[in-house]
Homo-oligomer: A and B are copies of this chain.
Amino acid sequence: MGLVVQKYGGSSVADAEGIKRVARRIVDAKKAGHEVVVVVSAMGDTTDELIELAEQVSPLPAGREFDMLLTAGERISMALLAMAIKSLGHEAQSFTGSQAGVITDSVHNKARIIDVTPGRIRTALDEGNIAIVAGFQGVSQSSKDITTLGRGGSDTTAVALAAALKAEVCEIYTDVDGVFTADPRVVKKARKIDWIAYEDMLELASSGSKVLLDRCVEYARRYNIPIHVRSSFSGLPGTIVSNDNPNQPEGGEMEQAIISGVAHDTSEAKVTVVGVPDKPGEAARIFRAIANAEVNIDMVVQNVSAASTGLTDISFTLPKTEGQKAIDALGRVKEGIGFESLRYDDAIGKISLVGAGMRSNPGVTATFFEALSEAGVNIELISTSEIRISVVTRAEDVPEAVRAVHTAFGLDSESDEAVVYGGTGR
């Protein structure tokens, strides 16, 4: 049996009971013969409470100190977890990100991992210990300051350690049973996906599925580390994210489209720049202004210009939280570019269908649009990639649109309620 990296999120270790439950699960993996490395997040709402304290003492907390503050949360949970394992009669040692060799750049609050040197972890494992590592944190290569990895940082820590330690699998424990064909809160007939390819998972993640963040999937794909997303409560097998479907007979790759699921996202807004002179370089000037304001954008669509006016509209979507920045940045270049006006709309939603072989199967796009049309959902923007089709609609249409698409592609489970598949027989 090989080395397993397990990651437990804050909801799994929210209190002493949760920590003890997780400890038993870890010990089970050790008893089964694995070497076990555990990455743990801060307990429950600890991080939010620390952020609130920071806001009370300082309106704009400095990055270095903010990171020092936040990393206290994982320090608490990892020490408690190591204690709980020891009280079950097994050896465990906890390590901060710095002790675990998680080396990052110096961008506080959203540092990126540039190297992992898990010498101490390897030694602890060789001595028979279970190694517990603080998620979400590292140490900057240049200044030796403590850094945090930003959103999804603990998942990324787990995958990075799995890669550095050449783990068999990286298990991400969460409070749901795995990745579903759609959000089970919206689509009652959503099914758990037993296996999904990295690329499809990446598209789902960037299209609104919140189970895994794209950053961690990207890392796993680069180092070819299988991720197993599963529940820390149920103990059932979850979703495997990897290169090769373990349940697929070798050489059995099919040419037909394989739909992975339907994702949706209502956290974005749409900005339309109205009446842009349709000549070379205008779009570039608009998006340079956006980039200079450090605003991340998602979909971009330019309408065909009306021949009579020589003017065109450019629309893009972006996180609602970035909306004000984008409007301000564009307002400052309005005269220079000479567009007519700006429209801001935050009552939109995005529905994305993700699956392999989509582009070479024109029927997929047709079925997708037909399903939306039959559900009476109006499409405002369209964007496609090799393995994804996304549309923007009114936010209030999103649940109905997701259900319609889910049904149209035969993703519905037979039961009325979302069921959890055992992962066999497929």
Contacts and interface: CB of A to CB of B under 8 A. Distances in A.
Nearest to A62: B86
B53 A65 contact: no
Interface stretch (A69-77, A228-236, A237-245): A69-77
A73 B53 CA distance: 13
Contacts of A73: 72
Interface string A53-89: 1101111111011101101110110111111101100
A80 B53 CA distance: 8
A78 B67 CA distance: 12
**How many copies of this protein are present in the complex?**
2
Contact of A83 (B16, B20, B65): B65
Nearest to A132: B65
B76 A58 contact: no
A79 B86 contact: no
- Looking at chain A's contact residues, the main secondary structure is helix
A72 B50 CA distance: 12
Interface residues of A, number: 40
A46 to B, nearest CB: 10
A390 interface: no
Contacts of A93: 64-65
A66 B82 CA distance: 9
A392 to B, nearest CB: 40
A58 B86 contact: yes
Contacts of A170: none
A16 B56 contact: yes
B75 A58 contact: no
Nearest to A17: B56
A260 interface: no
A19 interface: yes
A146 B60 CA distance: 30
B69 A76 contact: yes
A53 B356 CA distance: 48
A94 interface: yes
19 contacts: A16-B57, A57-B80, A57-B83, A57-B84, A58-B86, A60-B87, A61-B83, A62-B86, A64-B93, A65-B83, A65-B94, A68-B78, A68-B94, A68-B96, A71-B75, A72-B73, A72-B75, A72-B76, A72-B79
Given A61-B83, A68-B75, A72-B72, 5 more contacts: A16-B57, A61-B87, A65-B92, A72-B73, A75-B75
Interface of A: 16, 19-20, 23, 50, 53-54, 56-62, 64-66, 68-69, 71-73, 75-76, 78-84, 86-87, 92-94, 96, 99, 144, 146
